[in-house]
Copies of this chain bind each other. A is one copy, B any other.
Amino acid sequence: MAQKIKLSTIAESLGLSTATISLALRDSPLVASDTREKIKEQARALGYIYNRRAASLRTSRSGIIGVVVHDIMNPFYGEILKAIETELDRNRQTFILSNHYDSVEKQRNFIETLLQLGGDGVIMSPAIGTPIEDVRLAETNGMPLILVARSMEGTALPTYRGDDSYGISLATNHLIGLGHKSIAMIGGTDQTSTGRDRYQGYVNALRKAGIEVDPNLRIPGPRSMQGGFEAAVNFLSLPQKPTAAVCWNDLVAIGLMNGIARAGLVVGQDISVTGYDDLEQASIALPALTTVSNQQAEVGRLAARALLDRLAGSHEPDGIHLIKPEMRIRQSTGPHRPR
């Protein structure tokens, strides 16, 4: 409650000017080193708190970086966000996190708020249907933007994400290698670029193996455990009697496995199931889930680095950077047996 300590408070208490104090606290070589020490000591003693809004008003740099994704509580983003956090922390940037829940409006609000706060940049996993104007809004106001996990058609924005098409084809090939011929694809949407890429990877793998693609084996749905659980009924009653399922992600796969188990079938024997993302839960699930590691940490780290580099002035080429996923084979998949 005592009056606010500001540069001038310190200045007066030491008989110096605010200019000197400011310079000293930022380690400028312009101020003598013993004065600098004296000043720093006094600042500490008085409990001085740096006023970033005053500073950033002058310098037009805020040290704030915004990160907006579909749902931060979704474990899919967990690794990405942690990697981003680590990388930004290391460079002493403050990051503001937000969900857009695929609402374009919520996402725009976030971008606007960030502009109002003078954010230095944004990392976003764009909401479905994001209009280019919203991206421009950020850019014309000098706030660089990096995409992560999802791309946006029609822009040349720097984008970092896993190679979904390749990743799903890994999983599909694994199943084909086990002798499966009727393979369903469960969960997710085809409205995002990720969705189209994943479906493409599935289709490519089947075609390459000479298996004809049956569109009825594509069951889209929510990307949640609940979604997978509910898809089980549809999946099990398909007339094609698939013996394997490639799932959109681990959550869907775990839900689906539970649903299949409820129906009295044994996953890994009667039915093979693959996930995607390699969440912590995948290895603990029962049976342990065969899945694809999306290298999330790498994706997040690279995206953060790209933004930091851009802020530091380096202008490396835009474009999509695809990170190669890796297979994690566990017990939820096994050799084909007709059911």
Contacts and interface: CB of A to CB of B under 8 A. Distances in A.
Interface string A1-34: 1100000000000000000000000000000000
Contact of A57 (B54, B99, B280): B54
Q: Output the residue of A47, A49, A224 with the most chain B CB within 10 A.
A: A49
A57 to B, nearest CB: 5
Interface in A24-76: 47, 49-54, 56-57, 62, 64, 72-73, 75
B284 A116 contact: no
Contact of A225 (B49, B112, B284): B284
A261 interface: yes
B2 A226 contact: no
Interface residues of A, number: 46
Given A117-B94, A284-B255, A286-B258, A99 B85 contact: yes
Nearest to A117: B52
Nearest to A56: B53
A207 interface: no
Contacts of A99: 85
A51 B2 contact: no
Interface in A91-143: 94, 96-97, 99, 112-113, 115-118, 140-142
A57 B56 CA distance: 10
A149 interface: no
Nearest to A52: B116
B72 A75 contact: no
A113 to B, nearest CB: 5
Given A49-B116, A255-B284, A258-B286, A73 B62 contact: no
A87 to B, nearest CB: 15
A47 B140 CA distance: 10
A53 to B, nearest CB: 4
A78 interface: yes
A177 B131 CA distance: 58
B286 A262 contact: yes
Given A2-B140, A73-B82, A53 B281 contact: no
Contact of A118 (B53, B64, B81, B82): B53
Contacts of A115: 49
Interface of A: 1-2, 47, 49-54, 56-57, 62, 64, 72-73, 75, 78, 81-82, 85, 94, 96-97, 99, 112-113, 115-118, 140-142, 224-226, 229, 255, 258, 261-262, 280-281, 284-286
17 contacts: A1-B142, A47-B140, A49-B141, A52-B117, A53-B54, A53-B57, A72-B72, A72-B73, A72-B97, A85-B99, A94-B96, A94-B113, A94-B117, A96-B97, A224-B280, A225-B280, A225-B284
What 6 pairs across the A-B complex have the smallest Cβ distances? A53-B53, A73-B78, A52-B116, A97-B97, A258-B286, A49-B115
